[in-house]
Structures are given as C-alpha cells and as structure tokens.
Chains A and B, each alone.
Chain A
Amino acid sequence: MIDVEKLSFSYDDEETQEKKYVIAELDLHIDKGSFVAVLGHNGSGKSTFAKHLNGILLPSGGKVYIAGMDTQDDAHTFDIRSTAGMVFQNPDNQIVAAIVEDEVAFAPENLGVESSEIRRRVDECLEIVNMSEFAKSTPSRLSGGQKQRIAIASVLAMEPQVIILDEPTAMLDPKGRSEVMKTIKKLNQERGMTVVLITHYMDEAALADRVVVMEKGKVVIDDVPKKVFSEVEKIKAIGLDVPQVTELLYRLREMGFDMPDDIITVAECKEVLLQKLKGLKK
C-alpha cells in the first residue's frame, strides 16, 4: 500500500549553510489493512515523514509510492491525497466550514463528486464516527474529541484506503482521546482501513499491530508492539517510555518477581497480577 524507498528530506540551515537532514534514507513498507504506529520524540522526523505520505512535502531524495503512485508525479497529486487521507493535531485548525455536515462535504466537493453522492457519503461518514446527531451543529460548540472525529469523518468522505493521523490526540482530554482511539481502531478492524498513527503516547501505540520507532530521521525499531516494548532499556535509551503496565511489570521484575515482559495492555496486566496473587495465597 505504502512504499517508502530511501526517503531523505533536508533543508538548508540558514546560519551554517549546511544541509540538515530531517529524514535520512528511510525505507518502510506498509501493507494494506495494517495498523502501524510511528513513535518518536520531538524532532525525530515523524511528523515530517507523515507529510510525505500524501505529498504535502516532497522528498529531497528517494521515492514515496502510495498504491503504486509516485508522490512526485504532479498528475497524481489529487489521487494520492484522496487515497491517503490525513488528519492533523489541532482539530480547530483543520475545520473549514461553520456547519458539521458542510465540513464533511468539503473534500468530496473539491473532488467534483456529484451532489447526491456527496450527501450519501456525508451521512455514512458521520455514522461511522458516531456523530450523526451533530450533522447540523456548529463545530465550535463541540468538544475536542468530537471535533477530531469530525475531522476524521471529513477525511473518510474522500473514501481513502489509508488514513494517516498526525498526533490526533495530542490536544485532547482523556475522554476525547479514548473516543478518537476507539474510532481509529474501529476503522482498522471493521473497515479494513490501513492506518498510520503518528503518536507519542505509548498506550496508543500498544493498540497497533506494528510499531515503528523513529530517531533522528531513521527507523531504529520496527516490530510488533509486544516485542518493541519488551526491550524496556532500549526504548528508554531513545528517550521514550513504555506503556504504564509494561513499566510496572518491569519494575516488579527488577525487584525479583517473576513477571512476563510482553504485557502491554491493562487487561493483560490485570490477568497476570491476579494469577500471581492467587499463587502467593497458596
């Protein structure tokens, strides 16, 4: 679905006149229907990488192919952007219209879709993100999580195959965050949508089926979440954290308890701890 080949992105530093690489020779292949989380701390190049996936930024070196289309090919710009839809961090700054349904209609209108078909897509997409009852509301009266779901719906209205989310929960409260994550998970599982989630929340990355960790414009770890988070020291060396439950079991292990190292969700952790406590009782 997405093929990134030796992608480099650089800019000229104004003071030293040197080329600064934000992304250096990055290779990545993402399969159709997968849910990939891209982790990395500030300045790791993860946002810049995301903007390459729908041709907002073009590579300084290497190639990015979306469903076989080269992002540098002008003829495919709109095809690529409607195939790989993108949701941004700040919900306030990506909403164009003053009414929810007009907002969702914005993208298909740009694509020249017929008006009855736009209507159908708007209703369907609002249904998917569970916001149908707010179709006629004003976005400014909605909560952050609701606004972000509207932003997701307005991208879905292009009927993309991939959805790229650039830190979609960074500005939300815990409730909004869980609403948005539920929506993303649902898109991936029920609709087979390919999801690329850029995030710095480990608990969100734990929900993905593949985690890519970036540092200094390179991929340093690329594996399933259980494997990635089992290497607690390595993750910490990069300046990232592991999910809280993994951290808890890691500390217990350090204290001499026999705990598994591949636990990343609260439910799993609860199971393990209950088992251990029962064992202690006997």
Chain B
Amino acid sequence: MFKDITIGQYIEGNSFIHKMDARVKILLSLIYIVILFLISTPVAYALVFLLTAFLVWLSKLPVKYIIKGLKPMLYILIFTSILNLFMTGGGDVLWTCPFLPSLKITEQGLKTAILMVLRLSLLVVVTSLLTLTTSPLMLTDGIEKLLKPFEIIKVPAHEIAMMMTIAIRFIPTLSEETEKIIKAQTARGADFESGNILKRAKAMIPLLVPLFISAFRRADDLAVAMDSRCYHGGKNRTRMKQMKMTWRDGVAAIVLVLASVLLLAI
C-alpha cells in the first residue's frame, strides 16, 4: 500500500550530492523549483533536463529509484497533458476530431503539454533526489536550521523539525499496523474493495478508528519515553552530527546560480 512512496526514503551513499550540506541542498532545490516555473522556451527546458540528468548521475543513485518516484505521479501527468493538449489554442491546427470539430490539437497545445509533463516530472525528480540523498535526520535538521531565523516571528522551528522526524519514523510502523488491521477486519467480513466510492469510503471507518486509537496510544507511550530521556524541547540541545558546509556546497551553489542566470536570459 505504501511501498511506492519514495519521498522520505533515504538511500545511503558517498556521492558528491550525498556529502553536500542539507541546508544548501534544500535551498538549492527551492531555487531550482522556482526556475522550473519561470522558464518557458524549449531550449531552456532542454538545458534544465540536462542539468537534472547530470545531478542524477552525480548522485550515483540507481535510475530505477528515480523512475519509481514518478510512478505515483503517472495519472496526474496523463491528466495534465491531455488537458493542456486540447485546451490550449494558438498556432497551426494539427488534428481535428472528426465528430467534434471544436476538439482539436494545436501546435501550441502540443508544445504546452510536453513542457508541462517535463516540468512536473523534473519537479518530482529533484525533490526525490533531495530526499533520497539526505538522511531524514539531516533533512529535518536542515529545515530546523533554515527556519531558525523565523523564530523571531514565533515559528516553532525545533518543534516542526521534531514532528517531522517522528512522522518519518512512524511511517513504516503505521503502515504495518494498517495492513494488520485490514487483514483483521477482512477476516471479520469487512469489504474494502467493492462498491462505489461512497460505499468504499464508509468501509474505511472500521480501518481508521482502530488505527487512530492505536496512533494516540503510541503517541502517549512515545511522549513518556521521550520524557524519560530528558527531552525538554530545543533549548540547550546539542547534536551528534554537526552540519558543515564544504567546498562542495560552494561549487554547487555557484553552478546553480550561474545556470539560473543563463536560463532566465534565454
């Protein structure tokens, strides 16, 4: 059920990208995403595609993991491409539906559809690249550090990071639990698979109620266990793994900024 989710999964490695500082990686990913939405010419897209391919190569991750991350996006990709294909007008008409003359594919529509699919795919590839090469702890630590300046306007940086850590930690535990409850309820005659949407949504109740009850009980236990180990928020807390920026981060930042300037210029 949850096995296809690549976001939040981390694959150990020793590559250039693995060794980069989490804070820099998060910031650069954000810049990358912004750039992705600002560019519009096919040439720029081709360059971004090449840049992304280079990053994937640099990360030494198996390409199948990257592809796997795209799988859950498949329907959204198909849906947006069809929508863009038929809804965008302009340019020469390439094809007209024989039964419905208003339904036609234009040159502009085809172009927009392709670019849109490319844009969304690249977005997913880069975010999964970030999570695949950064351990969950480093990721949340990075977010905590980046949010630190916003503590002045009462953003609870440490608490947000701690919640994310715990959430990531409990994904496998709760998915296991879900599977167990599904089996237990199926054995009692519950039917999760047939009927219309409304019926199926209703069938989820005997799954969700025990799942929530157990999640609350777990949360309670965890709170006591954390208390027992002297947890008292982010105050005076030290970290075993210190974050350090190296020359790698400098090089990556310079390359990405130059690439952005170049891409926006064309």
Contacts and interface: CB of A to CB of B under 8 A. Distances in A.
Contacts of B64: none
Interface in B218-234: 218, 221-222, 224-232
Contact of A114 (B225, B226, B238): B238
Contacts of B58: none
Nearest to B137: A102
A98 B169 contact: yes
Nearest to B229: A107
A90 B221 contact: yes
Contact of B12 (A93, A105, A136): A136
Interface in B231-245: 231-232, 236-242
Q: Which of A94, A119, A122 has the most CB of B within 10 A?
A: A94
B223 to A, nearest CB: 10
Given A110-B229, A111-B230, A158-B230, A96 B173 contact: no
Contacts, number: 101
Provide the main secondary structure of the chain A interface: helix
Q: For the side of the interface on B, what is the size category?
A: 20 to 34
A93 B221 contact: yes
Residue of A86, A108, A109 ringed by the most chain B CB atoms within 10 A: A109
A118 B226 CA distance: 17
A16 B184 CA distance: 37
Interface of B: 12, 135-137, 165-166, 168-169, 172-173, 176, 217-218, 221-222, 224-232, 236-242
Interface of A: 51, 54, 56, 78, 81-82, 85-86, 88, 90, 92-99, 101-102, 105-115, 118-119, 122, 136, 138-140, 154-155, 158
26 contacts: A54-B228, A81-B229, A90-B218, A93-B217, A93-B222, A96-B165, A96-B169, A96-B226, A98-B169, A99-B137, A105-B240, A106-B229, A110-B230, A110-B231, A110-B237, A111-B230, A114-B238, A115-B241, A118-B238, A118-B239, A119-B240, A136-B12, A138-B172, A140-B172, A155-B229, A158-B229
